[in-house]
Amino acid sequence: MGWLQAFAEMGKYIPSVPKPARKPDLKARLIYTLLALVVYYLLASTLAYPLAAFPHAQGVPLPQIISIVFASRRGSIAQLGIGPLVTAGLIIQILVGAKIIDLDLTLPEDRKLFTQAEKGMAILIMIAEGLGFALYYRLNAYVTAAIFLQFLIGALILMILDETIQKGYGIGSGVSLFILGGVARSIMWEMFGPVKIPQVDQFYGIFPYLFSYFQGARLDMYRLLLGYYRGIGAVPTLTGFIVFIVLVLVLVYLQQMKVNIPVTMQRLPGIKSKVPLQFLYVTNIPILLVGIVFSDLLLINNLSYAYLSQKIPWLANALATTVEYMSPPRSLLFIEAAPLRVGIYSLLLIGLSLLFGLMWVEVAGLGPEAQAENLVKSGLQMPGHRKSVKLLEGVLAKYIYPLTLLSSLIVAIIALVADIFGAYGTGMGLLLAVGIVYQFYMQIAYERALETYPLLKKIIGEG
């Protein structure tokens, strides 16, 4: 616990917003959430000073998966995005779930320790990553220091905004909001990007490209269906747009599916009810965790390759080869051109999704044992079964573990299909965005119900 306390002490020095004495109304919270999103877009759209004066200086090349999962943008003040905060939270959450760290997150003191330690660890990650990004430009010491400080300040601002939203000033969490903002920006750019691709003299956005047909331009069927050019990479296609629409509809449908478990009340055994379990039981968590792992490894490789290639070339090549198989294919052409890479990526994505899905169920308290205890504490039991946590645990295991594996498999396959067909926003981005929008919708509906029926606040203890 010593090192956790040390991180918590560091976290105490980070500026923190006090919890509101009275929760703002829904309209005010929506405005605060929108303002936080505007701040994120400003940070992600502002180039760190004075990088504009050094057009020859190229930063670390970031795969799209990093920009999506970490809400980062190369060279901007939001270069680090939410990566340090998400990575720190994931590390500590796994250690807590695995009982390596003895914390009870239901206790206010332990929850405060967790939050402070997460902030402290995030600061160390910010410093390491920010310094690595700044040094990569190979500019003089003063310029490097200025760029580093701006990257650090940008990450701190996003972390403070996330905490502000979670404390009740906004809706949901800043992490989810910034991920959604990054995915939405990517999708809108792929749809409406007005710039031209010089090598092929075509508009980047699919709609400007289709509109150019009415101005006398010829449509390239290769671009419409496949959209991958050597030296350019993947460009938006009509196929990707259609797959994007189809998968959004599929995900919305799956979000509504429930598996109902019959229960009765212990005091009134004749009254039957149902406990609904989400069909996508672990939602988009497995894909998010896979994305974080892939993104961190890709980032480590990109930051360290220049140094390792000179000092330890064999290690640099081995790491580069490894992370190459963690970059998603963005066109059907990859199946023909690099079938081994697509196959290994598919196995990694599906295998890790299943592993992380099972791990998350245990770490997050969604396993059969925790759910059985919750049912007993709520005064519920299954028809025909005695009041026994162990007995209920065995019955719930028959529902929860198959749902966990099935939902993890489904989201992994959806992400893979989206990547191969070039769906807008990438497979992981699409899954995360739909899940986050659904969560925002449910929370806004909940808050709206509380405002419409004030008596509900007293019933559930929020009045």
Percent of the chain past pLDDT 70, that is, above it, reads: 91
User: For residue 245, is pLDDT > 90?
Assistant: yes
* Count of all residues that appear for the chain in the document: 463
pLDDT in the model for residue 292 = 81
Cα 80 to its chain centre, rounded Å, is: 14
Average pLDDT on 399-425 reads: 90
How far lies 414's CA from each of 80, 185, 248, 249, 380, in Å?
A: 28, 21, 10, 12, 36
pLDDT in the model for residue 306 = 66
Percent of the chain past pLDDT 90, that is, above it, reads: 21
Residue 380 pairs with which residues in a beta bridge?
265
Average pLDDT on 370-388 reads: 70
The pTM of the full predicted model, rounded to 2 decimals, is 0.86
Domain 1-17+25-189: CATH superfamily, name plus number: SecY subunit domain (1.10.3370.10)
Task: Please state the φ and ψ torsions of residue 199, each to the nearest 5 degrees.
Answer: -65, -30
- Amino acid at residue number 420: I
Query: Are 1-17+25-189 and 250-463 in the same CATH fold?
Result: yes
pLDDT in the model for residue 459 = 57
Three-state DSSP state, 234: strand
**Over the chain, what is the mean pLDDT?**
83
Q: Where are the domains of the chain?
A: 1-17+25-189, 196-234, 250-463
19-49 pLDDT, tens digit per residue, is 888 888 888 999 999 999 999 999 999 999 8
Q: Give the C-alpha separation, 191 to 185, whole Å.
A: 10
pLDDT band at 218 (very low <50, low <70, confident <90, very high): confident
Whether CATH 2.90.10.10 fits 250-463: no
* Best-predicted range by mean pLDDT (255-259, 283-287, 432-436, 453-457): 432-436
How far lies 67's CA from each of 156, 183, 236, 292, 378, in Å?
A: 18, 9, 17, 11, 43
pLDDT band at 386 (very low <50, low <70, confident <90, very high): low
- Amino acid at residue number 456: L
Q: Quote the tokens at residue 68.
A: 């999506």
Average pLDDT on 177-184 reads: 91
302-357 pLDDT, tens digit per residue, is 777 766 777 777 777 877 788 788 888 888 888 888 888 889 999 999 999 999 88
